[in-house]
Amino acid sequence: MFRRSISCLFLVLALFFCTSCNSRSLIVHGLAGRDANEIVVLLVSKGVAAQKQPQAAASTGGTSSEQLWDISVPAAQITEALAILNQAGLPRMKGTSLLDLFAKQGLVPSEMQEKIRYQEGLSEQMASTIRKMDGIVDASVQISFATDTDEQQPLTASVYIKHRGVLDNPNSIMVSKIKRLVASAVPGLTTENVSVISDRASYSDITINGPWGLSDEIDYVSVWGIILAKSSLGKFRLIFYLLLLTLFVISCGLLWVIWKTHTLILSLGGVKGFFDPAPYSKTVETKTKQTTEGAEEKKEDQPVEATEETPPAKDNASDVEENEDV
């Protein structure tokens, strides 16, 4: 009997330690599915074994509502998980919207309530459409309608976009698409009166191992109107400087050739002869022929003059000999 009680005690202690090791604690309650997924991804990327579990639905008198979620972590990682969430600013606090302030009260809603419901419903519908675009994380649309006292005031709209880097690409036309979407949904609103404020989501600190991990976004830069990836900027500079060096060497070579041959070009007619379609060989032959003929004529003239002048020299010599004999 004593041994049996000892065995039961050890079994109870073992079960207690096993359950205490696997015990989990809830750190966040009542989140929407999108917010719960964001927190789970962040905590798992930081090494915290976070899980989401559906919140127990309260009795609402037969009416259905959106499913809410709770986030649980191991008891040993509660402090670490809370520190990570505080640093990331999660979960986000939701403020009270105009739709909540002017909720339907009474049987007959006022004209202002109907107008605000229409504005908020239209804004939320456009924001939901923008979220469906590729690369958009979240969106919010605010439309400023003209009041009854100032109907001449133009309609304006502001759009806040949180994206994964799609708007950083200078070649992207996403901003113009968003402006056309908002302007087309509101009568009397033009694209010039739609302002788009973009903010890139900071996913640089979230790394998940596996084929489903988040890939690095490509950063683009504009250099002299040329769009290229930021990682290729060094190669572009190297190629550009090599091209400049090549052009410099070619220019120096051309200047050297011109310097060495400018006298020959000038002797063959200068710039006019250089652009003459006739080849240089014919010009050289004619000039060489003219120079040889001129030289031969000079040689023919020189002997004739010498023969005419030499006889008097002989006469002078004979006169000198006769004088010596005398």
Q: Are residues 75 and 114 in the same domain?
A: no
Residue 30, domain member (yes or no): yes
Q: Is the pLDDT of residue 301 over 70?
A: no
Mean pLDDT, rounded, for 146-169: 80
Q: Which domain holds residue 319?
A: 278-325
Residue 163, domain member (yes or no): yes
Last residue of a domain, one of 197, 217, 237: 217
CATH value at residue 33:
3.30.70.1530
Q: Are residues 104 and 192 in the same domain?
A: yes
Q: Are residues 106 and 37 in the same domain?
A: no
Query: How high is the mean pLDDT of the chain?
Result: 74
Q: At CA 173, angle to CA 171 and CA 179, rounded to 5?
A: 150
Mean pLDDT, rounded, for 46-74: 76
Residue 205, domain member (yes or no): yes
Residue 249, domain member (yes or no): no
Task: Write down the pTM of the prediction.
Answer: 0.47
Q: Are residues 35 and 115 in the same domain?
A: no
Residue 303, domain member (yes or no): yes
Closest CA to 31 of 90, 87, 114, 96: 90
Q: Are residues 83 and 144 in the same domain?
A: no
Q: Are residues 80 and 128 in the same domain?
A: no
Q: Are residues 36 and 48 in the same domain?
A: yes
The H-assigned helical ranges of the chain are 2-21, 33-45, 78-88, 98-101, 111-131, 174-185, 233-267, 270-274, 280-325
Q: Are residues 40 and 108 in the same domain?
A: no
How does 260-278 read in b/e, with b if 16+ C-beta sit within 10 Å?
Answer: eeeeeeeebeeeeeeeeee
Q: Are residues 106 and 207 in the same domain?
A: yes
Q: 189-241, pLDDT tens digit by residue?
A: 899 999 999 888 765 445 554 443 444 556 677 777 777 777 888 888 899 99
Q: Are residues 99 and 202 in the same domain?
A: yes
Last residue of a domain, one of 217, 245, 269: 217
Tokens of 71: 């986030």
pLDDT band at 305 (very low <50, low <70, confident <90, very high): very low
Residue 316, domain member (yes or no): yes
pLDDT band at 308 (very low <50, low <70, confident <90, very high): very low
Q: Which helix (H) or strand (E) holds 71?
A: strand 69-74
Last residue of a domain, one of 199, 217, 235: 217
Q: Are residues 111 and 73 in the same domain?
A: no
Q: 3-32, pLDDT tens digit by residue?
A: 666 666 666 666 655 555 558 888 888 888
Q: Are residues 140 and 113 in the same domain?
A: yes
- Give φ, ψ of 139 to 5 degrees: -150, 150
CATH value at residue 193:
3.30.300.30
pLDDT at 193 (0 to 100): 92
Residue 248, domain member (yes or no): no
Counting the structural domains of the chain, the total is: 3
Q: 92-136, pLDDT tens digit by residue?
A: 766 556 656 666 566 666 777 778 788 888 888 898 899 888 888
Tokens of 298: 């000079």
Residue 212, domain member (yes or no): yes
